[in-house]
Chain A
Amino acid sequence: MKKALLLAGVLVANSVIFTSCTKEKPVVPKENELITTLILTLRNEAVPSDSVVLRFFDIDGMGGIPPVVSQEGEIRAGTLYNGFITLLDETQDPPGDVNADILATDVDHQFFYLTDGVDLEFTYRDFDRNGRPLGLRMEVKAGTPSAGRLTIILRHYPDKAAPGVSAGDITNAGGSTDIQADFDVEVLP
């Protein structure tokens, strides 16, 4: 019994010594998969100076700060626009260019443009190595005056060969969602 108590005592002493041994603070990890910003720029084909910029900005990824959605310029009925998407990681300085990542893996990505109530028609203008749509560049036709929602979705590993997917129909695309940004938009007369 005495022996046991002695050993126990040694262990307690050890524990006190060990407690003083602490861990060093780790460096702030670098998050390189983050996308903070999606910008859809629409340029009037006829009047290049006339443009619309839709911006979806979410600084903290999974964090609790709500995203900020903004719009500059107005979409006019009956206008044909050249559209392009810019993806950024603005937590970096200078902001990280996410477009380059998407272009490098174009076969595994596709954008989808879903409209609800608003008369906008999207046509893909860029294609991957297999000749299937990517969707960083597109043509947008604003139809009749209307208001509703535009949802831009970037799918990772969609099945681009599935029926309708190459025409921009997401129903059979599958894959996982990398980006989903909603905009309330209006086509003005």
Chain B
Amino acid sequence: MGQDECRYRVEVKVVDKSSGRALSDAFVVFRSERGRGPGKLTDKEGVAVFKGLCEGHYHLSITHFGCSPFDGFFLIRSDTSFTAMLSHSVIELPEVLITDNRRSLEEVRMKAIRTEIRERQQFKPIADIATSVPGVQVLRTGGNISKPIIRGMNAQRIAVLNHGMVQAGQQWGNDHAPEISAFIYDSILVVRGISPVHLPAGHLGGAMLAGKSSAFADSHWHGSYAAGFETNGRGHWQHLRLDKGFADAGGIRLDAAFKRSGDMHTPNYYMRNTGMQEWSAGLLWKKNFTPVWNTVLNVDFYRTEIGILRGAHIGNVEDLKEAMSREIPFFTRDEFSYHIDLPRQEVMHLTLSSKTKIHLRNQSEVQVDLGAQINDRKEFDFRRSGENDRPALSLYQWLAFGEVKYSKNFNQLGIQYSITDNTNLPGTGILPLIPDYLSHRASLYYSGQKKLWQKEVSWGLRYDRVYYQAFPIVRSIPLEVLEDVRYYGGFTLNSTINLIQRKNFRLDYEVQLTNRIPEINELFSFGLHQGVAGIEEGNSELRREKAFQQHVNSLVHIGKVTVRADAYGYLFGDFINLEPTGELRSTIRGAFPVFAYRQYDRSLVAGADAIAEYQITEQVGLEIKSAVLYAHHLSEQKPIAWMPANRAEAGFRIKLPEVQRVKSGEWRIHVLMVDRQRRIFENQDFMPPPPGYVLFHTGVDFSIPLKKNYIAVSILMENALNKRYRDFLNRWKYFSDETGINISVSLRYKF
């Protein structure tokens, strides 16, 4: 096919996606069946011209300092010119600035984690990766369990979605991370503030969405292999991805990943029993049955075993006090081990989902989603009887989900249904914290977008109807199992207005009214929460939590400076919180403080996030981020406990010159400053908040071109000064310091 006709001229223009600026010195390479073509750098206008290209299919890849790489697949059969938009900054969202096309305001709200940040850090818990977005922090239990906090909202108020489905386990408590492997997903999106109403959860405080791409480059087998290791915990990991497109533009994709690490190390000692192992696998299959009908099937498997710090296993509150008084945790040993002993968590999730899209006439489509998830969680602890192989907690939960959505242009109408069945497997010999329950949730939503008064305005409405059938255990003599059946209704109303839309400035205003239905653990949990030696008591009298929230989001480009600054405020009625009641309950095991879910008449959470980027020279870029938060119970004049402290970050990116075959080198220096959390009363925590701290991180990225592809190398040095500190939002702060210096090396080969 026209191999002799190598006479086509192709002009590629590369621009920055958010500002529309031409990008010079971007490296553009065409590859075809015949191998890799010559690469070219773009000129000052951002243009690279290729002459003498043959007719045929080409892969195009474009890399530029500080940008997520661009990959595409093209058929060339005439002279062509086109523009490629690269995400040149962390602030990559409002593409609207450079186009007259209308964009969904919903899209604008979502914040994608940049590909290279995700790839560089994919061995970490998924919530940790999301902290590159200002306003996102984590609540930790040690180094391997992290739960996201978005603008001060956590747990039930936010959602973690796994390929569109709610990830189970978030209602099981603070020491249960979203168990999702970052390896097998292509995108991590964070919704700060108002979530689109079509998400099945997280309408109060935002969401974190892990997604897989179902776009396939061509009909050959492609893939990537990544491997790496880290010094702290002597962790190592591998990930293999294979994908192949079909002639119908569908395709198949397989992922498999494994990670293992052992005892982590603070600057001074090993944290005994803090190893982990993680297996994950994925299968994605897309078929275009007809030009208007396609289906994507997705299967994800995840299994993990996580060790819990040996010294964090305590009995009563006296033990906790004793542990807090120690410089080094009990049971610390001066030796490293991969062995995961007691206490530990073993968790398995299997998720199946299908998404079917049928395009109708008039630019409209119907989407039908079906999904199921099987979740198995076991926690092993020291048993008095010595039966340590018997789990202290054994939960089995399945959920089924279905959705039908009709969309036309920017309007969507949909209905969702989900069933959750949570069963405590008998034989643990310990009364479960969360009772057995069954829940049905039916939801109806409608969202739209219109140009009103010359302004882009979007809105969303959602109504949820929930049925709970729970079986709480009453601590009477003898024990009794009750049946508690109840119905709730909850709604969400929101709107976003694009107030100002100019070439260099954009301002959006978001507003939402939400009625959150209490979750099962808030209503019915009862039992001992290990690690804090507290008795947790649900409150079956809880009413729905009401929230009125407003967010103002701005984006400014001034010359080489890009600033995104957002401010927000949540006003709550009947804010639900787990709080110490002040009661010290005397039992045969000693005294335990009682924590109960209670409601506050009025509470306020307000704050601001900002990020600024300054391209100082062609070689040096500066990025500054900060997040401040104020959280207060207005009706009782006291702070809301367990909120993130104020923080600021600054990072330099320095482009390195090419040395021999080492290309696209970049050196990063990063400083993180976290203030002491001063906004907490003495009686709201067991110990005063730890002091603030400053951490230095540094890293180098580069790539080594091979014959057809390249190997990308990333070296990361975290806590480079081996600083000893404790973090307010780590539940192990009572027992142990945070981890010390960690050097990780990751390699990635794409083929």
Interface of A toward B, CB cutoff 8 Å: 1, 3-5, 7-8, 11-12, 14-15, 18-19, 22-23, 25-33, 35-38, 56, 58-67, 91, 98, 101-102, 104-105, 108, 153, 155-157, 159, 174-181
Contacts and interface: CB of A to CB of B under 8 A. Distances in A.
Given A26-B481, A64-B475, A12 B415 contact: yes
B315 A156 contact: yes
B585 interface: yes
B384 A27 contact: no
Interface of B: 313-316, 318-319, 330-331, 360, 364, 366, 368, 382-386, 402, 404-406, 408, 413-415, 417, 419, 421, 423-424, 426, 428-432, 436-438, 440, 442, 467, 469, 471, 473, 475-481, 483, 526-528, 535, 585-592
16 contacts: A4-B404, A8-B404, A8-B413, A8-B414, A18-B419, A19-B467, A31-B431, A62-B528, A62-B535, A63-B475, A66-B586, A91-B478, A101-B386, A104-B386, A157-B331, A159-B330
A35 B592 contact: no
B272 to A, nearest CB: 12
Nearest to B385: A101
Nearest to B435: A26
Contact of A28 (B385, B404, B481, B585): B481
Contacts of A29: 424, 426, 428, 431-432, 473, 479
Contacts of B414: 8
Given A3-B406, A14-B417, A28-B480, 7 more contacts: A1-B406, A3-B360, A8-B415, A23-B438, A27-B426, A66-B586, A178-B315
B404 A18 contact: no
B316 A3 contact: no
B78 to A, nearest CB: 40
B686 to A, nearest CB: 16
Q: What is the predominant secondary structure among interface residues of chain B facing chain A?
A: strand
Given A62-B475, A62-B585, A176-B319, A18 B440 contact: yes
A26 B382 contact: no
Most chain B Cβ neighbours within 10 Å, of A4, A31, A177, A180:
A4
A35 B438 CA distance: 32
Contacts of A58: 586-588
A177 B590 contact: yes
A179 to B, nearest CB: 6
Contacts of A56: 588
B160 to A, nearest CB: 24
Nearest to A101: B385
B239 to A, nearest CB: 37
A183 to B, nearest CB: 12
B423 A7 contact: no
A177 B316 contact: yes
A180 B318 contact: yes
A5 B591 CA distance: 58
Contacts, number: 167
B385 A105 contact: yes
A67 B586 contact: yes
Contacts of A23: 421, 436-438, 469, 471
A15 B419 CA distance: 10
A188 B401 CA distance: 71
A177 B318 contact: yes
Contacts of B481: 25-28
Contacts of A159: 330-331
B478 A19 contact: no
Contacts of A32: 385, 429
Contact of B366 (A7, A33, A176): A7
Contacts of B314: 176-177
B588 A36 contact: yes
A38 B588 contact: yes
A4 B430 contact: no
Nearest to A26: B436
Contacts of B413: 4, 8
B475 A175 contact: no
Contacts of B527: 62
B469 A18 contact: no
A105 B386 contact: yes
Most chain B Cβ neighbours within 10 Å, of A35, A108, A174:
A174
Given A32-B385, A176-B314, A7 B368 contact: yes
Nearest to B442: A15
A62 B318 contact: no
Nearest to B404: A7
Nearest to A4: B406
Most chain A Cβ neighbours within 10 Å, of B330, B331, B414:
B330
Contacts of A104: 385-386
